[in-house]
């Protein structure tokens, strides 16, 4: 007959008691957590110094209008993933992170969208295209100082906002009728070049889908042609500005500066 190992039995019983107690404690904590209500919301808005499309109060009002007040809501009734998804649909928000801790403190981190160019289509409608190539509506709160594009632009916001300029450029059907992808490439290049960003303030599209640029200094038009060889054409323009227009009176000497011709800049005097 085997001799019972009382020491092992005692240890096993103690482990069972400990595990049972831990399970009960976790169940109690879980129940308590579900009863916790949200009492504090911390909202951080990135790019606030560059853009002012949304602030802390706008985010709170956004959820209130959707009847998702958040404050005083029990954690068990909160769908954090849904709230984050909803906030990411805000027209001025590029990305949003939504988190809640066990004490019921909500932290929301929002990155605003950065407009690159403002579009004026032929119907008089206006909207922005942002640095992520997506369209965004204007804001009653803030007007961004960015390049302006107008002329023969037909795309309405309602039919294009769900597509990025990149998607339009990759779609054979859209590409044939749209100039938004070309406008993006042009505006992106100008904005990233410190000299061009200072000089050029308007892009105009002709009926033939060619680009004309208007500088902030001087009373002349720049004929760019199609949105091809962008780097080469702008390098010619910068050299001409630095060497050909290095005197104050030369800025108003020409009516047209054309970059359409290979390896040369053709100017028309007034």
Task: Count the neighbouring beta carbons within 10 Å of the beta carbon of residue 1.
Answer: 3
- pLDDT for 251 equals 65
pTM summary value: 0.79
The string of DSSP codes covering the chain is: -PPP-HHHHHHHHHHHHHHHHHHHHHHHHHHHHHH-B--EEEEEEETTTT--S--HHHHHHHHHHTT---TT-BGGG--HHHHHHHHHTSTTEEEEEEEE-TT-EEEEEEEE--EEEEEE-TTS-EEEEETTS-EE---SS-----EEEEES----HHHHTTS-HHHHHH-HHHHHH--HHHHHHHHHHHHHSHHHHHHEEEEEE-TTS-EEEEESSSS-EEEEESS-SHHHHHHHHHHIIIIIS-SGGGGGTEEEEE--STT--EEEE-
85-141 pLDDT tens trace: 999 999 999 999 988 887 888 899 999 999 999 999 999 999 999 999 999 999 988
Alpha carbon distance 86, 64 (integer Å):
12
Q: Given the structure tokens 């068990």, which residue do they identify? A: 76
Q: What are phi and psi of 255, to 5 degrees?
A: -95, -30
Q: In which band, very low, low, confident or very high, does the pLDDT at 247 lie, cut at 50, 70 and 90?
A: low
Question: And the tokens for 73?
Answer: 């809501």
22-68 pLDDT tens trace: 454 444 345 445 577 878 889 999 887 778 899 988 998 888 888 87
pLDDT over 50 (residue 219): yes
Q: Regarding beta strands 105-112 and 40-46, do their DSSP bridges make them parallel or antiparallel, or are they unpaired?
A: parallel
Q: Regarding beta strands 211-215 and 221-225, do their DSSP bridges make them parallel or antiparallel, or are they unpaired?
A: antiparallel
- pLDDT for 173 equals 75
Question: Across residues 175-192, what is the average pLDDT?
Answer: 91
Q: Given the structure tokens 């309405």, which residue do they identify? A: 156
- pLDDT for 4 equals 47
Going by C-beta distance under 8 Å and a sequence separation of 6 or more, which residues neighbour residue 238?
Answer: 195, 196
pLDDT over 50 (residue 153): yes
- The domains located in the chain, with CATH, are 40-112 (3.10.20.310), 115-269 (3.40.50.11690)
Going by C-beta distance under 8 Å and a sequence separation of 6 or more, which residues neighbour residue 109?
Answer: 44, 46, 96, 97
- pLDDT for 268 equals 83
Q: Regarding beta strands 254-258 and 266-269, do their DSSP bridges make them parallel or antiparallel, or are they unpaired?
A: antiparallel
- Of 203, 200, 198, whose CA–CA distance to 184 is shortest? 203
């Amino acid at each position: 007959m085997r001799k019972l190992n009382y020491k092992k039995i005692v240890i096993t019983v103690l482990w069972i008691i400990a595990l049972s107690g831990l399970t009960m404690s976790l169940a109690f904590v879980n129940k308590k957590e579900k009863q916790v209500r949200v009492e504090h919301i911390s909202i951080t808005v990135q790019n606030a110094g560059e853009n002012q499309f949304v602030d802390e109060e706008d985010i709170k009002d956004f959820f209130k209008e959707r009847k998702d007040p958040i404050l005083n809501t029990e954690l068990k009734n909160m769908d954090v993933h849904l709230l984050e998804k909803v906030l990411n649909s805000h027209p001025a928000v590029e990305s949003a992170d939504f988190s809640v801790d066990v004490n019921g403190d909500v932290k929301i981190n929002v990155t605003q969208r950065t407009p690159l160019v403002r579009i004026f289509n032929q119907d008089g409608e206006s909207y922005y295209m942002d640095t992520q190539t997506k369209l965004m509506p204007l804001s009653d709160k803030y007007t961004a100082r960015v390049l302006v594009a107008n002329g023969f632009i037909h795309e309405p916001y309602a039919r294009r906002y769900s597509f990025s300029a990149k998607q339009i450029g990759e779609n054979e059907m859209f590409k044939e009728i749209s100039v938004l992808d070309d406008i993006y490439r042009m505006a992106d290049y100008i904005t990233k070049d410190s000299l061009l960003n200072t000089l050029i303030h308007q892009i105009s599209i002709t009926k033939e889908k060619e680009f004309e640029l208007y500088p902030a200094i001087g009373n002349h038009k720049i004929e760019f042609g199609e949105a091809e060889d962008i780097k080469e054409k702008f390098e010619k323009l910068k050299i001409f500005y630095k060497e050909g227009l290095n005197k104050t009176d030369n800025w108003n000497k020409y009516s047209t500066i054309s970059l359409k011709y290979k390896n040369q800049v053709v100017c028309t005097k007034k």
